[in-house]
Amino acid sequence: MRRIEVRSAAGTYPIMLGADVFTQAGSLVLELGFRRGTKVTIITDDTVASLPFADTVLTSLDEAGFVTQTLTVPAGDSSKSMDMAIDLYRGLLKFGMRRSDLVVALGGGVVGDLAGFVAATYLRGIAFVQAPTTLLAHDSSIGGKVGINLPEGKNLVGAFYPPRAVLYDLSALRYLPVRQWTNGMAEVIKHGIIANPELFANLEAKPLTECPLPDTLEPILAAAIQVKVDVVQADERESGRRQVLNVGHTIGHAIEQRSHYQLGHGEAISIGMVLETKLAQARNLLAQADALRIVSVLEAHGLPVRTPADEFSELRGLIDVDKKHGSALWTFALPVAIGDVRVVSDVRPEEVEAVYVQSLRAAVRCQGHKLT
């Protein structure tokens, strides 16, 4: 089992990464200092609850002497809501959860963000452990961003609230449908674009279109995780450097929400990365060869790269509520090389619209070719 430490203002926490982490969940939680008899609520979703490893985690915690319950929410981004958070608070209260007790978020980014938000706010904050089960969650489980969506935009309510540990069992990933695997690759590729050109080149040379065996996967995932760890350690509360993790997200979040979550987070961010790559090119920040490499590697992984049919006017308001903007001008994290992303805070909405409209026209032309 590989151990990666994350320094945070609230203390250092470990990421335990390996193929046999969940069977040891109970002893790992004891090692964190929680005593036998502590109440542990596992928060998960209804898909994950039915997979064999959910039982493995529960059994391991029971055998270690914890008093457990499981609370289940429907799978999907619509569970990242205040209504769902309130249901969960009540579930915790009913079970008698105190400040010394523990929440375990077992699932993908939706469960991690929601359960983390509930843990951050229940009784003004109780401890939680992230137990990510999707590839995408190599990103969401680290760094302490927790939150819920509003109808007006993604992740508009939340906190920076680091977990006590991240227990990442790679054997859970073999249950992922291909679409979910691919969805997660968007954030792995993103981490390469941000700060690891070697990781990016490896993905170009050998696209990971399905879940490989843990021995192959572990070093790749560890490299992507290390990019995230380095960034959040440098700027935990996103006052500057951390904004680079948002490459592809300023437009991608709007596209994700506008699709009513028919597009997965990684799928929307893939389209967002393509459009933001074009914005970087339009500003002469990125060479054409690098722009082509970004689009090609996303395509090679089966990720969507075409602009959806939405009019820009339908996205503008959603982009406008992005938390990074400081004024009427927009803030974007733009790729400037493979392995380097720069934050720019003087983007006029009209510039984005021009790039978007041009890409939309190109996408429609392409479709026309296919039909004829």
Ligand X SMILES: O=C(O)C(=O)C[C@@H](O)[C@H](O)[C@H](O)COP(=O)(O)O
Ligand Y SMILES: NC(=O)c1ccc[n+]([C@@H]2O[C@H](COP(=O)([O-])OP(=O)(O)OC[C@H]3O[C@@H](n4cnc5c(N)ncnc54)[C@H](O)[C@@H]3O)[C@@H](O)[C@H]2O)c1
Q: Does 267 bind ligand X (CB under 6 A)?
A: no
96 is in an annotated binding site: no
Residue 124 annotated in active site: yes
133 is in an annotated binding site: yes
Q: Does 189 bind ligand X (CB under 6 A)?
A: no
Task: Return the one option of ligand X, ligand Y, none that residue 295 interacts with (CB less than 5 to 8 A, by type).
Answer: none
CA distance 195 to 336: 11
CA distance 110 to 76: 7
Q: Does 109 bind ligand Y (CB under 6 A)?
A: yes
| Secondary structure E strands in the chain | 2-6, 13-18, 39-45, 67-73, 102-107, 127-132, 145-150, 153-160, 165-169, 330-337, 340-347
325 is in an annotated binding site: no
Q: Does 187 bind ligand X (CB under 6 A)?
A: yes
Place of tokens 């291909």: 178
Taking CA 158 as the corner, what is the angle to CA 329 and CA 25, rounded to the nearest 5 degrees?
Answer: 135
Three-state DSSP state, 345? strand
In this structure, are residues 257 and 326 in contact, taking their beta carbons and an 8 Å threshold?
Answer: no
- Rounded to 10 degrees, the C-alpha dihedral 15/21/24/25 comes to 60
Please give the full DSSP string across 105-138, using - where no structure is assigned: EEESHHHHHHHHHHHHHGGG--EEEEEE-SSTHH
CA distance 59 to 315: 46
Among 21, 42, 136, 167, binds ligand Y (CB under 6 A): 136
In this structure, are residues 246 and 333 in contact, taking their beta carbons and an 8 Å threshold?
Answer: yes
Nearer to ligand Y among residue 105 and residue 275 (C-beta): 105
Q: Does 68 bind ligand X (CB under 6 A)?
A: no
Task: Return the one option of ligand X, ligand Y, none that residue 105 interacts with (CB less than 5 to 8 A, by type).
Answer: none
Q: For ligand Y, which residue has the nearest CB?
A: 109
72 is in an annotated binding site: no
Q: Find the part of the chain contacting ligand X (CB under 6 A) among 203-211, 242-250, 300-308, 357-365.
A: 242-250
Q: Does 72 bind ligand Y (CB under 6 A)?
A: no
Residue 187 annotated in active site: yes
Q: Does 305 bind ligand Y (CB under 6 A)?
A: no
Q: Does 325 bind ligand X (CB under 6 A)?
A: no
Q: Does 242 bind ligand X (CB under 6 A)?
A: yes
Binding site for ligand Y (CB under 6 A): 45, 47-48, 51, 75-77, 80, 107-111, 113, 133-134, 136-137, 139-140, 143, 145, 154-155, 172-173, 175-176, 180, 183, 264-265
Active-site residues: which are they?
A: 124, 145, 187, 228, 238, 242, 246, 249, 253, 265
Binding site for ligand X (CB under 6 A): 139, 143, 145, 154-155, 187, 238, 242, 245-246, 249, 323
